[in-house]
Amino acid sequence: MNLPEPAVERRAPPLSLYVHLPWCISKCPYCDFNSHALGGTTPFDPYVDRLIADLEADLDRFGVSRPLQSIFIGGGTPSLFPGKAIHRLLAGIAARIELAADAEVTLEANPGAADAGRFAAYREAGVNRLSIGVQSLSASHLERLGRIHDPTEACAAVRMARTAGFDNLNLDFMFGLPGQLLQAAAEDLDRLIALEPEHLSYYQLTLEPNTRFFAHPPQMPDVDLAADIGEQGAELLGAAGYGRYEVSAYARPGRCCRHNLGYWRFGDYLGIGAGAHGKLTKVEAGETAFRILRTAKHRDPDRYLGKHPEALISTCRELCDADVIFEFALNAMRLTSGFERSLFTAMTGLPWLRLEPYVAQGVERGLVEQDGDRLCPTQRGRDFLDDLVGSFLSPPTPMS
């Protein structure tokens, strides 16, 4: 473990932008995101105005001048917004901060709010990647999940995206659904693979606090069955040519989500919109240490719209070293290929020696393995990821 400290240039991490559009047609019973069912007229234009003002305020407040490597427009259901609103939003962003020439621009879409003309307008506006929330291609499971689309509409949304010119699609899909059996889960995933997306997010349904499912739990598969379904899904996706590069993310070669890789590799991101979170690194001239700030905007859309742009931040805090170590591990340990030692110092400003005792403990417990300069979770570490990440919460116990 006592390798030389890698030489690392001190500079701020790559920068991305997250944009939150908070409205949905209806609230799904499992959803704990900051989403709100439509009520009356949706203020599309005033909300875009506020987003642009929010961005301006953040750029001024934090002195950000790095180019954006990616933009992710999430929700809620962003595909409820008309094409002209998304065009104005992206034009407003580009007028205020530089975008990398190959910037990835993703927009989330719901098959129940899909429209061919709208998809074409998004593509024309500059969106080059769609993330479609399919979740299942079983009519009965979609109904149990409270989704507003059926399998036919989900497949139609993929066709519309292709017709509109999108050659980079992610499809969100869940397993461990109420009443789901092993064979039915395999058949459901096979139908999704047949749609040939470039990227798949395949994740287990969990019952989160403050959701209807948490208050009134449905009959869920037991722990062993859910694990078997997840393992079966990973094998099916691997056989179909999808590499697993993160706990719940699978991609064809060259199609990993660059925006999400920015999160997992502890990059920076601005967050605009109701409830949006951000992480920004301040590298002070002549200093070796970084200041890492976490920000959050007001969650309620009406309150967000009513606030002066300078007062949109609900919280802003600077991370202490212990927070930085934990949050780095929380993200980087999700990557199946792990991370290089130099990444820790490059993204945190802290010397490798601050992380080394935690890693040594993980190696001794069989949760982490080291191959030269690279560290990654073992299969046991991936199976017990919560335990692995939790071990970075407090200083390691000295080994005898």
Q: Residues 216-231: pLDDT tens digits? A: 999 999 999 999 999 9
Q: How far apart are CA 324 and CA 39, in angstroms?
A: 40
Q: Which residue has the tokens 């697993």?
A: 244
- H-type alpha helices, the chain: 44-62, 83-94, 116-125, 139-144, 151-163, 182-193, 212-215, 223-239, 258-264, 301-306, 321-332, 341-348, 356-364, 379-383, 385-390
Mean pLDDT calculated for residue range 103-126: 94
Q: How far apart are CA 365 and CA 3, in angstroms?
A: 20
pLDDT of residue 116: 85
CA atoms within 13 A on the CB side of 39: 7
Q: How far apart are CA 393 and CA 362, in angstroms?
A: 13
Measured at the CA of 363, the angle between CA 361 and CA 365, to 5 degrees, comes to: 70
pLDDT of residue 285: 61
Instruction: Sort 382 into a burial class: Cβ within 10 Å, 0-12 / 13-18 / 19+.
Output: middle
**pLDDT tens digits, one per residue of 268-321:** 999 999 999 999 999 876 566 789 999 999 999 999 999 888 889 999 999 999
Do 35 and 23 touch, CB atoms closer than 8 A?
yes
Q: How far apart are CA 98 and CA 126, in angstroms?
A: 14
With CA atoms as reference, report the closest residue to 91 among 126, 65, 62: 126
| Among the ranges given (10-14, 120-124, 156-160, 244-248), the one the predictor scored with the smallest mean pLDDT | 10-14
Do 368 and 359 touch, CB atoms closer than 8 A?
yes
pLDDT of residue 2: 57
Q: Catalogue all structural domains in the chain, each as residue range(s) with its CATH number.
A: 15-262 (3.20.20.70), 321-400 (1.10.10.10)
Polymer length in residues for the chain: 400
Q: Calculate the alpha carbon distances from 292 to 58, 76, 98, 148 in Å.
A: 15, 28, 22, 40
3-state secondary structure 315-382: EEEECCHHHHHHHHHHHHCCECCCEEHHHHHHHHCCCHHHCHHHHHHHHHCCCEEEECCEEEECHHHH
pLDDT of residue 396: 76
Amino acid letter, 216: H
Q: How far apart are CA 155 and CA 259, in angstroms?
A: 25
Q: Three-state DSSP class for 273?
A: strand
List the structure tokens of 396: 């390691």
Taking the alpha carbons at both ends of the chain, their separation in whole angstroms is 16
**pLDDT tens digits, one per residue of 322-375:** 999 999 999 999 999 999 999 999 999 999 999 999 999 999 999 999 988 899
**pLDDT tens digits, one per residue of 44-98:** 999 999 999 999 999 999 999 899 999 999 999 999 999 999 999 999 999 999 9
Beta-carbon neighbour count of residue 216 at 10 Å? Answer: 9
